[in-house]
Amino acid sequence: MRQATVRSASLSASMSRDRKRQHDVRDSYLAPLADLELLADCSRSELTNAASLLTQLVLPAGETLLRENTIGREFLIVVDGVLEVTRNTADGTQLLGVVGAGDVVGEMSLLDRAPRTATVKTITPTTVYAGSAREFFALLNAVPSTRERIAAIARERQELNRAA
């Protein structure tokens, strides 16, 4: 009888360790999202929803991710790396800015349902979370704090575009 109890306790401890390990794996999957300012206020449930909508991509330097005057079909959240944002003008290519970890790109075209206003290219090896237009709007609906932040980012960028 004692031996059965020991086995049961051992099995119980083993199952508990397995559940903890599974929990840690899930947490490690959500950790990069939780570290992003864009998703900083999210609950675990909201992070899980966000993770289910996004695909992580690792990209080399020099990769054009979004091209000016094309129809927006995706958006990107930068996890790490540096990207340049440019626009073609009569005088050539104008550097609009540089973005990095925590920044979102591609949102304006999706929100405005208009062609992209800039080209985005990786300067360094970069990791992003990518999502389609459908996933973008699902993310906005599932995570209200993200919706508010992205709307504020888009307003600021529209004002900058008007001023340029």
The predicted pLDDT at position 17 comes to 47
Do residue 26 and residue 41 come from a single domain?
no
Do residue 42 and residue 118 come from a single domain?
yes
Report which residue type is found at 80: D
Report which residue type is found at 33: L
Nearest Cα to Cα of residue 77 among 99, 48, 45, 60: 99
How far separated are the first and last CA of the chain, in Å rounded? 81
How many angstroms separate the CA atoms of 149 and 104, rounded?
A: 10
The predicted pLDDT at position 162 comes to 67
Do residue 43 and residue 25 come from a single domain?
no
Do residue 156 and residue 88 come from a single domain?
yes
Do residue 40 and residue 29 come from a single domain?
no
- Structural domain tally of the chain? 2
pTM of the predicted model as reported, rounded to 2 decimal places? 0.77
Given a contact cutoff of 8 angstroms between Cβ atoms, the answer to whether 121 and 65 are in contact is: yes
Given a contact cutoff of 8 angstroms between Cβ atoms, the answer to whether 87 and 68 are in contact is: yes
- One pLDDT digit (tens) per residue for the chain, 164 residues: 333 434 444 444 444 444 443 344 346 678 888 888 888 888 888 889 899 999 999 999 999 999 999 999 999 999 999 999 999 999 999 999 999 999 999 998 998 899 999 999 999 999 999 999 999 999 999 888 888 888 888 788 777 766 66
Domain that holds residue 15: 1-34
Do residue 30 and residue 79 come from a single domain?
no
Do residue 64 and residue 141 come from a single domain?
yes
Both tokens of residue 29? 């999957």
Do residue 26 and residue 50 come from a single domain?
no
Do residue 50 and residue 130 come from a single domain?
yes
The predicted pLDDT at position 27 comes to 60
How many angstroms separate the CA atoms of 13 and 72, rounded?
A: 51
